Structure 1
Amino acid sequence: MQCRLCDSGQLTSVLDLGATPACESFLDSERLESPEMTYPLHLRLCEQCLLLQIPALITPEDTFTEYAYFSSFSDSWVSHAEDFVDTAVRRLGLGAESFVVEVASNDGYLLRHAVARGIPCLGIEPSVNVGAAARAVGVPTETTFLHEDSAARVRAEHGAADLVVANNVYAHIPDLRGFTRALRTLLSDDGWLSIEVHHALNLVRHGQFDTIYHEHFQYYTLHSAQRALAVGGLTVVDVELLDTHGGSLRLWARPDAVAEPGPRVVEVLDLEREAGLHTPAGYLDLAPRAEAVRQELLRFLLDCRAQGKRVVGYGAPGKGNTLLNYCGIRPDLLEYTVDRNPYKHGRYTPGTRIPIHPPERIDADRPDVVLVLPWNLETEISAQLRHVGEWGGELVYPLPVLHRGELETKVNR
C-alpha cells in the first residue's frame, strides 16, 4: 500500500478492525441465506504526510450509484445546513448574481436553502435515487461523480462557482489528488471552497473508531488537509471547529493567488500539535481506546441479557455497522434496530444481520434499553425519545463513553 497523497510506502498500522461488509450494504430477506463479501478495515498513517487512510478496496461506484443515506432524515443536520447557508450569504455576499455548487449534494438538504433565497445553484450527486429526491424538491442536480473531466464540463456549461461546498465528501474519494484538482476547476479564481470533514483529533482523542468504514478512505487533521488541498492550488484561510459528527472541521479555502491564512488556522494547528498529531506517535492511543469501548459495551449488553432485559437499537447508520461488527453484536444482544429512513425498513444490517424496523416499533414494544447507534446526534435523538422513560426504559449511548441519556418519567410529567 502506498499513500494516496504523497506516494510514500512508509505507512504505520494505527487500528485494525478486522474484516467487515460495506457499511451501507443492507440486506433484504432474500439475501439472508447468501454469503456476504467482507473487506479488511485497517487504518494506517503515512509517516511522511501524516494522512490517516485505509486501502481503497471498495470503489465509490460500488457505494454511491444507489445509496441508502438521505441527509434530510436528520432534523439537526438540515438545521445545520440552513445555518451554514445563512452564514455563507452574510460572509460572502451571495445573491441572485452568485453561483453555488455543492459536491455530494445528497437529497438537497443544503441547496434547498439556497434555492429559497433565490441563489443560483447546482448539486452534483452521484447516487441516482438520492439525486432524484433532490430534484423532486426543486434543487437543480446533476447525477454524476465529480472528477477532473466532469468538473471541466460543469464549469463550461454553468460557469465558475463563487462558492463550492463539499460537506462530508472529502473523506469519500480514493483519487484524492484528482478530486482536489476537480474542486479547483469548479471554483472561480476569487472564489471560496468550504469543506466539512470529521476531525481526526476527535477520532484519536475519544476513540471514535466507528467513524472508520469503507466509504471513508482518509481521515483529516487540519495539517493533513492543508497538504491535500495544496495539490489543487488551494490554501486554507480559515477553519472552524464544529460539534457535528462527534467533532468536525469546517475548512474555508481559496485559490493560492488570493489566499492568506487567518489566525484560527494557526490556533487549530497548535491544538493538533499539542495533542501529538504532528508526529506518528500521537496516533497510537487509538487502538487501546477502541478496545476499551468494545469491552465496556459488551459487558453492558451481556449484563442486560443476564438480567432478562430487552435491548433494541435506534438508528442504522454506517458508523453503527462498524460498531456492531467490531464488537460482534448480533440479535442475541440487540434484538432489532429502528430507523427513520423507509429505505432501510424490512432490511438487515450488513454482517450482523440485525432487523431494521420503523421507529414506531419502539413505542409498541416498550423495551428496557434503547441503544443509540448514531451517538453523534445525542441532542436530537434524546429529544425524540425522551418518552422512553415513561415506561421505565433507558436510553444508552455507546460513545465517547457508555452513558445514559436524560429521559422523562411518569413522576415529572
Structure 2
Amino acid sequence: MSAPNCRLCGAELAHTFVDLGMSPPCESYLTADQLDSAEVFYPLHVRICDRCLLVQLPAYIDAGEIFSHYAYFSSYSDSWVAHAKTFVEDAVDRLSLGEDSFIVEVASNDGYLLQHVVERGIRALGIEPAANVAEAAVAKGIPTEVAFLGEATGRDAAARHGAADLVVANNVFAHVPDIVDFARGLRRLVAGDGTVTIEIPHLMRLIEGNEYDTIYHEHYSYLSLLTTQRVLAEAGLVVVDVEELPTHGGSLRTWSVPADRARPPSDAVAAVLDAEAAAGLHSLEGHAGFADAVARVRDDLVEFLVGCSRRGETVVAYGAPGKGNTLLNHCGVRADQVAFAVDRNPFKQGRFLPGTHIPVLPPERLADARPDYVLIMPWNLRDEISAQLHPVRSWGGRLVVALPRLEVF
C-alpha cells in the first residue's frame, strides 16, 4: 500500500508521528436506536512530512461529512466567549477599526465572537459550513453564510460583500484538508491593507503537554509557527506578529498581511521560531518520542479506572468534547468504567459517546449520582470546570484529569 502525500508540498508521507489505532469520528454521537448498529472506525495514524515538516492526518473522512451538521457550539463555554470578547476589543484597538470597518470570521460557529463585533456597530459576516450551527448565529442577528471556505468561495464573498479589514480564523486552520486552498480563500477575503488573524493549537505545546486527545479526524494538520508560515506563504500572506495563548493547552495567534505590504516580522515571531528550533521542531528527528509519552498517559488512566472498579468506586465524566472521545477510545474505556458523562450542550444530552457508548446526561445528574470521581474531559478548561464542580466536594467526591498527566485533586 502506497503512503499518502503531504497536503502542503506533495511529498510522500513515509514517517509516523504517532499512531492511535482506529477510532470513530469524534463528533458522531449516537442515539439509543443506533447502539446495536455497526459503527465505522477510521485510522488515527498521524504522519510527518520529511520535506516541509507539516504534521498531518490523512483525510480519512471527507470534511463535508464531518462539518455539514456539527455538534459543537462555542457559546456553551463561558471562558471561550470571554476569550472572544477580549480578542475583539484588542483587535479593534490595535487596527483602529470602527463603524466603517468590515470583519469576517471563517468557521464562525454560533456567533460566539461576531456577537461582540455587532454590539460595537461594526459590519460583520460569518462564514460557517455547518447549517445547524449557522442557524444559531442568524438567530442572534449575525449575518452568516453556509459555506466551506476556499479560494473560489472567498473570491465570491468578497465580490458580494467587499473585502474585509479583518479576517478571523480561530481554531479552523487545522480543520481543512486542503489547507493551501483555504489559505488562499483567506487572502481573497482580506483587503489589500487588511489583516488576517489565525488561532491554532501549537504543536510544540501539544508535544510538551502530551495533549494527544486533540488528535482526531477533523484535525487534519498539527501546526508549528514554521509550518503555518509556509502554508500562508503559498497564499501570499506573511506572518508579521504572533502571540502565545493559554487556550487549548497552548495556542498561537498569528497576525498576517498580504505579502506586498508586509513589514519585517516582530521580535515575537523570531522568539517563537527560536523556541521551536530549540525543541527540535525544525527537524524530523526532533518530533520523535511522542508515541512513548502517549502510551504512558494511556497506561496511567487505565490503571486508575481498573483500580476504581476493583474498589467499587464510581467514576463519571464531566464534558463530552470530541477530543475526549479520542482519549476514551484509545484507552478502551467503556460504560462499566465510566458510568456516564454530563454536558451542558442539549444536542449531546440523551445520546451516547461514539465507540464507548457511554451515555450523555444533563449536568444536574451529577448531584443525583454523587460519584466518587469526576473525570474532567475538557482539561484545557480545568479551572473553569473545577469552579463549577465545587459541590462535588460536599459529598467527598474528587476531581480527575488524565492530561497532561493523571492527577486526582
The TM-score with structure 1 as length reference comes to 0.97
| Aligned residue runs from structure 1 range 9-408, under 5 A | 9-260=12-263, 261-405=265-409
User: Quick check: 1:124–1:145 contact (8 Å CA) kept in 2?
Assistant: yes
Q: CA deviation at 1:404?
A: 2.8
- C-alpha distance in structure 2 between counterparts of 1:271 and 1:347, whole Å: 43
User: Quick check: 2:44–2:216 contact (8 Å CA) kept in 1?
Assistant: yes
- C-alpha distance in structure 1 between counterparts of 2:145 and 2:370, whole Å: 44
Q: Which amino acid aligns with 1:234?
A: L
Q: CA deviation at 1:112?
A: 0.1
Q: CA deviation at 1:10?
A: 4.3
- C-alpha distance in structure 2 between counterparts of 1:32 and 1:342, whole Å: 19
Classify the secondary structure of the residue corresponding to 1:251.
strand
What is the CA RMSD across the aligned residues, in angstroms? Answer: 0.7
User: Quick check: 1:26–1:349 contact (8 Å CA) kept in 2?
Assistant: yes
Classify the secondary structure of the residue corresponding to 1:102.
strand
User: Quick check: 2:209–2:249 contact (8 Å CA) kept in 1?
Assistant: no
- C-alpha distance in structure 2 between counterparts of 1:404 and 1:102, whole Å: 39
Q: CA deviation at 1:378?
A: 0.5
User: Quick check: 2:76–2:344 contact (8 Å CA) kept in 1?
Assistant: yes
Moved more, 83-92 or 142-151: 142-151
- C-alpha distance in structure 2 between counterparts of 1:245 and 1:321, whole Å: 16
The TM-score with structure 2 as length reference comes to 0.98
**Runs (5+) with no aligned partner, structure 1:** 406-413
User: Quick check: 1:10–1:48 contact (8 Å CA) kept in 2?
Assistant: no
User: Quick check: 1:14–1:283 contact (8 Å CA) kept in 2?
Assistant: yes
- C-alpha distance in structure 1 between counterparts of 2:67 and 2:5, whole Å: 24
Q: Which amino acid aligns with 2:214?
A: T
Q: Which amino acid aligns with 2:308?
A: C
Classify the secondary structure of the residue corresponding to 1:344.
coil
**Runs (5+) with no aligned partner, structure 2:** none
User: Quick check: 1:44–1:53 contact (8 Å CA) kept in 2?
Assistant: yes
- C-alpha distance in structure 1 between counterparts of 2:312 and 2:222, whole Å: 40
Cα deviations by residue, 1:94-131 (Å, 9 ceiling, x for unpaired): 11000000000000000000000001010000111100
User: Quick check: 1:375–1:399 contact (8 Å CA) kept in 2?
Assistant: yes
Q: CA deviation at 1:350?
A: 0.6
- C-alpha distance in structure 2 between counterparts of 1:162 and 1:4, whole Å: 29
User: Quick check: 2:42–2:60 contact (8 Å CA) kept in 1?
Assistant: yes
- C-alpha distance in structure 2 between counterparts of 1:392 and 1:236, whole Å: 50
Q: CA deviation at 1:11?
A: 3.3
Aligned equivalent of 1:411: none
Moved more, 311-320 or 255-264: 255-264
- C-alpha distance in structure 2 between counterparts of 1:152 and 1:206, whole Å: 39
User: Quick check: 1:4–1:176 contact (8 Å CA) kept in 2?
Assistant: yes
Q: CA deviation at 1:257?
A: 1.2
Q: CA deviation at 1:233?
A: 0.4
User: Quick check: 1:204–1:285 contact (8 Å CA) kept in 2?
Assistant: no
- C-alpha distance in structure 1 between counterparts of 2:403 and 2:24, whole Å: 22
- C-alpha distance in structure 2 between counterparts of 1:4 and 1:373, whole Å: 31
